[in-house]
């Protein structure tokens, strides 16, 4: 992304390793378990609230009652603000256990928040790889120096609307920006064009209906909620990273956790625990409060509420108008737990014999678990499925280079701990974006209570 992006690469900030507060693997494993019920319950309630407020707004509008304004304000917040967090969690594939539910909610929420689903799925992966790295992170909401007018107008998303339809029209004729081409794989780019046409046709239909009825009412339900209902998303969303340190590799320095009441937490789907989410993006939203309890001793003190966060942000932004080097400094605990490897590293016990190395006792690897094995210049991941079968692949994700031993094994799949890409551990094939390139696979066997790894790559 321009000169700043090249500089970030040169400085070793692009796709780098980040500090992660240590959590025992057994506890992380518990937090990673996926369930449908919490997200089904919350999503059904959310759609019911949207439907009820929309129904009330319609009848109050028909009755020419001023109470229709209040009803539409509630509808707008649920439609345009609360959908942002649903979009976010569904994009990670962690909200539901069932993948098609995540995908369906993601597509619906993407439409509601005016985000082209394919483009933003890939840009958000970059955001997690290079959070607040200038020139790399496409989601820095308030660049330095801050544009105060733009921040204020952002409450109404006017600039967002203009850019959205500009890009939709560009994509309809097959034109992607250089930045988009830098993070969207070529095989995904046709999806951008197809979906752009879908968005354009839907909005053309809504506008056509409004013209036919000679009423703004259809647009109050689809389109205009972004203008009058996005204010809450800005209020609780901008403090995630605003005014904090740029170009650091520690989320404790560039991401906030802010305590909120139960209503805001429901609307925001616990994304107020944003520091925890960035450290462990595989953890579902409903488990973030538990994760917070496990890592808070290693993190700066959380903010008591949004007002405290904004009281810090506003003076910093004002000073950044004349001093772009200024930022709010977050201070981790003076004596944090000693940083440890996110997962243990096992090495060969003795020399290689006929292409095989001994890794260790079978007890090292539990059911639906993964371990890291390093030998010479190669790193591997060895897995055990629920039925006890062993498999081995190259250790690092082919997308972001993160070691898969910190990931989540479920069935025949390993989920990358950084971007939620998935691979089939039996053959290395990619099963969920952003993973696109297959993993190398290796032989592994178990004999007399010991695990042995074949270091010669298997033919695909």
Q: How many residues does the chain have?
A: 460
In this structure, of 19-23, 133-137, 342-346, 391-395, the range with the lowest mean pLDDT score is: 342-346
- Radius of gyration over every alpha carbon of the chain, rounded to an integer in angstroms: 24
In this prediction, residue 341 has a pLDDT band, given cuts at 50, 70 and 90, of very low
pLDDT of residue 460: 59
Note the pLDDT tens digit of each residue in 73-121: 999 999 999 999 999 999 999 999 999 999 999 999 999 999 999 998 8
Identify whether the C-beta of residue 255 lies closer than 8 Å to the C-beta of residue 275.
Answer: yes
Distance CA(40)–CA(96), nearest Å, equals: 8
* Residues 138-157, mean pLDDT to the nearest whole number: 92
* Residues 262-285, mean pLDDT to the nearest whole number: 96
To 10 degrees, the CA torsion angle through 203, 209, 214, 217?
-70
Q: For a pLDDT cut of 90, what percent of the chain falls above it? A: 78
pLDDT of residue 70: 97
- Just give the CATH number of 345-457: 2.102.10.10
Measured at the CA of 208, the angle between CA 203 and CA 209, to 5 degrees, comes to 100
* Residues 241-257, mean pLDDT to the nearest whole number: 96
In this prediction, residue 239 has a pLDDT band, given cuts at 50, 70 and 90, of very high
Identify whether the C-beta of residue 450 lies closer than 8 Å to the C-beta of residue 360.
Answer: yes
In this structure, of 16-20, 35-39, 179-183, 351-355, the range with the lowest mean pLDDT score is: 179-183
For the four alpha carbons of 138, 144, 147 and 151, in that order, the dihedral sign comes to positive
For 416-449, letters b (16+ CB in 10 Å) and e give bbbbbbbbbbeebebebbbbeebbebbbbeeeee
Nearest Cα neighbor of 298 from 241, 337, 330, 258 is 337
* Residues 416-430, mean pLDDT to the nearest whole number: 91
* Residues 228-252, mean pLDDT to the nearest whole number: 96
Kindly state the helix (H) or strand (E) to which residue 360 belongs, with its residue range: strand 356-361
Distance CA(135)–CA(144), nearest Å, equals: 12
In this prediction, residue 277 has a pLDDT band, given cuts at 50, 70 and 90, of very high
Q: What is the pTM of this model?
A: 0.87
pLDDT of residue 110: 96
What stretch(es) of the chain map to CATH 2.102.10.10? Answer: 345-457
Joined together, the tokens standing for residue 122 give 């890939």
Distance CA(240)–CA(277), nearest Å, equals: 11
Q: What is the mean pLDDT of the chain?
A: 93
Joined together, the tokens standing for residue 21 give 């507060």
């Amino acid at each position: 992304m321009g000169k700043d992006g090249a500089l970030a690469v040169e400085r070793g900030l692009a796709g780098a390793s980040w500090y992660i507060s240590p959590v025992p693997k057994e506890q992380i494993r518990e937090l990673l378990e996926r369930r449908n019920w919490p997200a089904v319950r919350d999503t059904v309630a959310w759609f019911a609230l949207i439907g009820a407020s929309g129904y009330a707004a319609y009848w109050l509008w028909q009755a020419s009652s001023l109470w229709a304004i209040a009803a539409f304000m509630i509808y707008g917040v649920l439609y345009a603000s609360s959908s942002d967090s649903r979009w976010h969690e569904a994009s990670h594939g962690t909200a539901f256990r069932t993948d098609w539910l995540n995908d369906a909610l993601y597509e619906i929420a993407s439409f509601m928040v005016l985000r082209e689903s394919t483009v933003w799925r890939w840009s958000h992966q970059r955001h997690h790889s290079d959070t607040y790295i200038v020139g790399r992170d496409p989601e820095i909401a308030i660049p330095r120096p801050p544009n105060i007018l733009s921040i204020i107008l952002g409450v109404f998303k006017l600039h967002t609307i203009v850019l959205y339809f500009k890009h939709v029209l560009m994509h309809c004729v097959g034109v992607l920006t250089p930045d988009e081409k830098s993070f969207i794989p070529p095989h995904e780019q046709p999806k951008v064009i197809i979906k752009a046409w879908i968005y354009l046709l839907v909005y053309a239909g809504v506008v056509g209906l409004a013209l036919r009825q000679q009423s703004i009412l259809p647009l109050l339900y689809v389109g205009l909620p972004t203008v009058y209902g996005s204010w809450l998303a800005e209020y609780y969303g901008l403090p995630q990273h605003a005014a904090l340190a740029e170009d650091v590799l520690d989320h404790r320095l560039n991401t906030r956790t802010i305590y909120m009441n139960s209503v805001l937490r429901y609307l925001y789907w616990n994304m107020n625990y944003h520091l925890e989410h960035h450290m462990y993006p595989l953890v579902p939203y409903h488990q973030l409060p538990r994760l917070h309890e496990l890592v808070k001793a290693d993190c700066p003190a959380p903010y008591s509420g949004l007002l405290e966060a904004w009281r810090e942000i506003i003076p910093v932004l004002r000073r950044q108008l004349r001093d772009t080097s200024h930022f709010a400094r977050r201070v981790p605990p003076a004596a944090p737990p000693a940083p440890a490897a996110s997962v243990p590293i096992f090495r060969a016990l003795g020399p290689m014999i006929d292409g095989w190395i001994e890794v260790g006792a079978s007890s090292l690897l539990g059911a639906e678990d993964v371990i890291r094995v390093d030998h010479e210049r190669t790193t591997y991941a060895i897995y055990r499925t629920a039925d006890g079968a062993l498999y081995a692949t190259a250790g690092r994700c082919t997308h972001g280079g993160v070691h898969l031993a910190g990931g989540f094994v479920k069935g025949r799949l390993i989920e990358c701990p950084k971007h939620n890409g998935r691979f089939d551990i039996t053959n290395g094939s990619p099963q969920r974006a952003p993973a696109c390139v297959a993993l190398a696979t290796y032989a592994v066997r178990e004999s007399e209570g010991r695990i042995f790894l074949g270091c010669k790559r298997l033919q695909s």
